[in-house]
Chain A
Amino acid sequence: MQRNEIADHLAQVGYVADSQLAMALWLMERLQRPLLLEGAAGVGKTEVAKALAQIHDTRLIRLQCYEGLDANAAIYEWNYQRQLLAIKAREGRGESAEAVEKHIFSEEFLLERPLLAAIRQEKPAVLLIDEIDRADEEFEAFLLEILSDYQISIPELGTVHALSIPLVVLTSNGTRELSDALRRRCLYHFVDYPTEDKEARILTTRLPKIDSTLALQIAAFVAAVRKEDLRKVPGVAETLDWAAALVGLEVRDLATEPKVVQDTLLCLLKTQEDRLALAPEVTQRLLGKVA
């Protein structure tokens, strides 16, 4: 896929990308390096991986990280129940312990987890390692090893080599500082809140029914809300929810319906403090700027 086509393809699957992101996606494919996406929660980092899988028409394999994530949950696990049954079933046959062991630690009893699954795809998959900053440092070191060799060694089976090198997308919200080693390994892209113009385009792409002036108004209003001192700044997903609600309520112009705007703000603001901070007067002031 050529670099200039990537943005168009992304737009076709409903993701509005700038040229910098298109370059990042093109490079990760050419250089076969993972891409680290950083940015605040709700700016659409995960969506990048989903859109990437769609434009390549390939599988999206997702590994959601959390504190305490270990190799068993990330790479592979043995199917213990079946192993126990198999041992029982072979009990009467007088096989040697070695033979039984060889049998129950074979491919047949292996449960793939995301990392193993990703390197065993015939067609390169998109591997999304979501919120890597939530996993602990030990796991990060481990991941680094896999991301540089693309092979996994299973003590009982031997080394599994990659059938195809996946396109790896890592996302981070910055809840923990990532190691320099991992950062060095990855290409980097910082995802910022979209500009008003871009957010309006996202709205019109995702909500075909929306009126383009309303989309611009919503984008401008949300941009103003983001400048307020809030605990949880609304992300793109919140904007989409809110816009969908306004479209559903058949709002045509934000300025004429301050009551509806105030009542639907719960789509944007997810904490009590923020709801209180955006009192009707504040909303009115922001609407005044927008309309």
Chain B
Amino acid sequence: MAAAHTPEALAPEALSPLAGAQLRGRLSAFLNLLRENGFLVGLEDASDCLRFAAMADLARPAALRAGLRCICCTRQADWQRFDELFDAYWLRRGIKGLLRVSGTPPKGRGARKLSEAGAPGGSLGAPDRVSREGEEAAGNPADRQGKRAGASSSESLAQADFRHLVSAEELQRVHDLADRLARRMRHRLSRRERQRRRGRRLDLRRTIHRSIGRGGLPIDLAWRRRRDKPLRLVVVLDASGSMSQYSAFFVRFIHGVLDRFREAEAFVFHTRLIHVSPALRERNATRAVERLSLIAQGWSGGTRIGESLAGFNRQHAARVVHGRSVVMIVSDGYDTGAPELLGREMAALRRRTRRIVWLNPMIGWQDYEPTAAGMQAALPYVDLFAPAHNLQSLEALAPYLERV
């Protein structure tokens, strides 16, 4: 495959006149370029590159290309990017493209801009402010339940529909609650694991050690325990226009989940699917949430749940989903794509996972029936179809997840 890109004739400023210190200098600059582009190039790789340069016959760039590619790449994405970077650096081809890709925006710059403009959550929730004031008197579920409970402010907050939380302060408190919930869910899950995995096996090595003094009679037995394994939670969040009022909250929830669960992955979709876990592995909650809010905001147009799930099944499912995974889809089920596709992809996903939980904020609304064609197509494959319009409904999930 290298041959396809490489002319045997060299560009004038390319490799042949390079030797010794000059080559070392250019090599290390190239390794820096790779690092800037997200390659994992360690010290060992750097010294191996030099050893390789000393050993190999570098008259042909094809050899240099093949060797460096082999040493510096660590994953498929690197492998596919490598040619572009190599050409740009060594053969000065496609420089423009390189400037664009290598100048990765400093992390968080966009997010900072956003925060100057106002709280990201606030900006997501803002369109709802007017309707909230108008609905005060209308018997929406939040108000009704709030009256019935009539207890502490945190309790009423737990019952408030996420649509009606607007101010930055309110949102922050919701975020804290979600964070706590994520913590509780994980603790329960791991404790359950420990209790259930009672299956113990004989540790023969230790048993024999102990039995030497008794003429080989295994009186004092040693046992082994199976290591407990946490469930993996895979969250797939619908960030389409119809869900926009809820995305600010779920973005925070997802961050809590990724931060707290030992094994968790998150995806956001709208018209296409994005794997957001890498962007969210950020201890600074505000920065992470801002970053995800940007991703979730960036799109507009119809929701394509079926296509997004197809993308998930094709590209990510094999790696991310296994027999100990619970897939949690958060969506209102309004799909502009074909319901048949959604049904087919749900069936495919069902084969891979342990459970599929579908959280639908609409269930919390009065008189809601899951009549959307997409929702109808998906329901047969869903193990738990639950509301997710307020914190109380999310907390109600914990007992279910404990039993999974």
Give the B-binding residues of A (Cβ under 8 A).
3, 18-20, 23-24, 27, 30-31, 33, 36, 38, 78, 80, 83-85, 87-88, 91, 97, 100-101, 104, 138, 173-177, 180, 183-184, 186-190, 192, 231
Contacts and interface: CB of A to CB of B under 8 A. Distances in A.
A242 B249 CA distance: 54
Given A3-B56, A175-B322, A190-B76, A31 B212 contact: no
A24 B70 contact: yes
Given A20-B66, A91-B215, A175-B318, 5 more contacts: A27-B70, A31-B71, A83-B216, A174-B76, A190-B73
B216 A23 contact: no
Lowest 8 CB-CB distances: which A-B pairs, in order?
Answer: A87-B216, A183-B74, A23-B66, A190-B79, A188-B73, A91-B215, A24-B70, A97-B213
Contacts of B56: 3
Contacts of B209: 101
19 contacts: A18-B1, A19-B3, A23-B67, A23-B70, A27-B71, A36-B74, A80-B204, A83-B216, A84-B208, A88-B215, A97-B212, A138-B227, A173-B318, A175-B322, A180-B40, A184-B40, A187-B71, A188-B75, A190-B79
Contacts of B44: 184
Interface string B76-110: 10111000000000000000000000000000000
A42 to B, nearest CB: 14
Interface of B: 1-3, 40, 42, 44-45, 48, 51-52, 55-56, 62-63, 66-67, 69-71, 73-76, 78-80, 204-205, 208-209, 211-213, 215-216, 227, 318-319, 322, 348
B75 A19 contact: no
Contacts of B62: 19
Contact of A88 (B45, B74, B213, B216): B216
A144 to B, nearest CB: 13
Contacts of A174: 76, 318-319
B78 A188 contact: yes
A39 B10 CA distance: 32
B211 A87 contact: yes
A38 B70 CA distance: 12
Nearest to B76: A190
Given A19-B2, A19-B62, A20-B2, A27 B319 contact: no
A17 to B, nearest CB: 12
A101 B319 contact: no
Nearest to A148: B44
A36 B48 CA distance: 16
Nearest to A155: B205
B205 A78 contact: yes
Contact of B208 (A104, A138, A173, A189): A104
Given A20-B2, A31-B52, A80-B204, A87 B212 contact: yes
B29 to A, nearest CB: 21
A15 to B, nearest CB: 17
B215 A188 contact: no
Nearest to B55: A30
